[in-house]
């Protein structure tokens, strides 16, 4: 777990350095590069189970309520 925290800290420092430099216009692009980092590089370092634990659980979708169920229909 310490390796993952170190990786997060390194990415945070790199993003902060880009944001504070004249390359700040590239900040959104550098931020988007964290997605391939997660999808391509982290599976080489961590097992699938570790990545699932680090990602957390997916939120369950709540069933949509039909607004007509709550209305009284005139007979």
Contact in structure between 4 and 51 (CB atoms under 8 Å): no
Burial 31-69 (b: 16+ CB within 10 A, else e): eeeeeeeeeeeeeeebeeeeeeeeeeeeeeeeeeeeeee
| Residue 35: per-residue pLDDT | 87
Give the pLDDT confidence of 23-70 residue by residue, as tens digits. Answer: 788 778 878 888 888 889 889 988 888 888 878 777 776 767 766 666
Contact in structure between 15 and 30 (CB atoms under 8 Å): yes
């Amino acid at each position: 777990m310490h390796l993952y925290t170190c990786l997060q800290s390194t990415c945070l420092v790199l993003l902060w350095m880009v944001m504070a430099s004249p390359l700040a216009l590239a900040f959104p692009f550098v931020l988007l590069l964290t997605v391939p980092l997660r999808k391509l590089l982290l599976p080489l370092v961590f097992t699938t189970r570790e990545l699932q634990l680090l990602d957390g659980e997916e939120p369950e979708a709540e069933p949509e309520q039909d607004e007509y169920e709550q209305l009284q229909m005139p007979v």
